[in-house]
Amino acid sequence: MEALKSKITDCANLEELEVVRVEIFGKKGILAAEFAKLKDIPPAEKKDFAKSMNEKKVELQNIFDAKKLELEAIALQKELESQKIDISLYGYENNKGALHPVKDTMDKIIDYFATLNFSVESGPLVENDFNNFEALNLPKNHPAREMQDTFFFADGNLLRTHTSPVQIRTMQNQKPPIRMIAPGAVFRRDYDLTHTPMFHQVEGLLVGKKGEVSFANLKAILEDFLHYMFGDVKVRFRPSFFPFTEPSTEVDISCIFCKGDGCRVCSHTGWLEVLGSGVVDPNVFKAVGYENVSGYAFGLGVERFAMLLHGIGDLRSMFEGDIRLLEQFK
Ligand code: PHE
Q: What is the DSSP string of 263-289?
A: -TTTTTSSEEEEEEEEEEPHHHHHHHT
pLDDT score recorded for residue 269: 95
Residue 21: its pLDDT value, please? 94
Mean pLDDT per 10-residue section of the chain, whose length is 330 residues:
91 94 93 89 89 93 94 93 85 83 96 98 97 94 79 94 98 97 95 88 98 96 98 96 96 94 91 97 97 98 94 85 85
Residue of 137, 149, 162 to mutate, ligand 1, most atoms within 8 A of C-beta: 162
CA distances from 216 to 144, 213, 222, 226, 237 (A): 26, 8, 10, 15, 11
Of all residues in the chain, the percent with pLDDT exceeding 70 is 100
pTM: 0.73
Alpha carbon 179 to chain centroid, angstroms: 25
Predicted local distance difference test score (pLDDT) of residue 147:
66
| pLDDT tens-digit series, residues 100-150 | 999 999 999 999 999 999 999 999 999 999 999 999 999 988 877 776 789
Q: Minimal CA–CA distance to 247: which of 217, 213, 281, 274?
A: 281
Angle at alpha carbon of residue 183, lines to 223 and 123, rounded to 5°: 135
Ligand 1, residues at Cβ distance < 6 Å: 162, 164, 203, 242, 245, 276-278, 297-299
Q: What is the pLDDT of residues 60-99, one digit of tens each?
A: 999 999 999 999 999 999 999 898 888 888 888 877 888 9
pLDDT at 312: 86
Q: What is the pLDDT of residue 162?
A: 96
Q: Report yes or no: 202 and 302 within 8 Å, Cβ to Cβ.
A: yes
Asked if the peptide bond before residue 42 counts as cis, ω within 30 degrees of 0, the response is no
Domains and CATH numbers, the chain: 2-82 (no CATH), 101-329 (3.30.930.10)
Determine the distance separating the centroid of ligand 1 and the alpha carbon of 191, expressed in angstroms. Answer: 20
The number of the ligand 1 atom at minimal distance from the alpha carbon of 248 is 10
pLDDT value at residue 84? 85
